[in-house]
Amino acid sequence: MTATPAGLLALPYSGRMKPAFTFAIPLAALLLGMPAAAQAASFCAGLDRYPVNPIVGGAPVDLCRVDARAVLLVNTASACGFTPQYEGLEKLHQRYGREGLRVVALPANDFGAQERGSNKQIAEFCQVNYGVTFTVGEKLTTPIRQDPLYAQLMRVSGKAPKWNFHKYLITPDGRVQSFDSDVTPQSRELVQAVETALKAPPR
């Protein structure tokens, strides 16, 4: 990933949206219930920032400092049997984005070498085939198990991605929930988890 300018980027919510919960300190402090002073030993420990440069979906965002009530992070690929889940992820974004859900896809070529395209090709594929408007970041250049953010997600959740379209739901009550690739975006399990996260009071 290339570096992005420092700073917190807020989502432009409006209308019926609930008041936004801001991960105003690195997610680690939230996820482990630690005060801001303990950031160095928390979820984003050693990662004061985790910048994502979108190839789809607007301005750069720092996943350690994102303005949202919950973040759904998904490792994606364009030539996978689970690739049609892009459509379901877009539906989640359309349905819950105004309530504070931030859907973020990070394309990766880790599993089955099923994401071989360039960032330009990936962006075109997502938009033309699935009408994606949520945040799709640049293709990961580091293997997932070596990526610092994923290393923290695996440590906190106790689960590592086994294939493309593994999902992590990062919630404001301090939890990281893990969902295997075969748990679809419209599954009762995931939808209920998202709705519960969005109803949780800000801390």
Mean pLDDT, range 175-195, rounded to an integer: 96
Percent of the chain with pLDDT over 70: 74
Between CA 23 and CA 130, with CA 164 as vertex, the angle to 5 degrees is: 80
Asked whether residue 6 is domain-assigned, the answer is no
What span, in angstroms and rounded, lies between the C-alpha atoms of 38 and 97?
30
For residue 150, pLDDT beyond 50: yes
In a domain, 20, yes or no: no
Residue from 44, 64, 80, 126 carrying the catalytic annotation: 80
* Domain limits for position 141: 27-198
CB atoms within 10 A of CB 195: 15
50 by DSSP, 3-state: which? coil
Task: For residues 160-178, give the mean pLDDT.
Answer: 88
Q: Coil, strand, or helix at residue 176?
A: strand
More confident residue, 28 or 174: 174
* pLDDT of 123 above 80: yes
- Token pair belonging to 25: 């300190």
* CATH code of the domain in which 190 resides: 3.40.30.10
In a domain, 7, yes or no: no
**pLDDT-above-90 percentage for the chain:** 56
In the structure, what pLDDT confidence band is assigned to residue 156 with cuts at 50, 70 and 90? confident
Q: Would residue 8 count as lying in a domain?
A: no
Q: Is 80 a catalytic residue?
A: yes
Report if residue 95 sits inside a domain: yes
> Does residue 71 lie within any of the structural domains?
yes
Please report whether residue 10 resides in a domain.
Answer: no
Question: pLDDT-based confidence at 47, cuts 50/70/90?
Answer: low
The answer to whether residues 137 and 85 touch, using CB atoms and an 8 Å cutoff, is no
pLDDT-derived band at 50 (thresholds 50, 70, 90) equals confident
Report which of residues 70 and 77 the model is more confident about.
77
Orientation of helix 85-96 relative to helix 188-199, angle to 10°: 30
Is the pLDDT reported for residue 158 higher than 60? yes
Query: Domain count of the chain?
Result: 1
In this structure, are residues 156 and 32 in contact, taking their beta carbons and an 8 Å threshold? yes
Average pLDDT, the chain: 80
Assess whether pLDDT exceeds 50 at residue 193: yes
166 inside domain = yes
Concatenated DSSP letters of 9-40: B-----TTPPPPPB--S-HHHHHTT--GGGGG
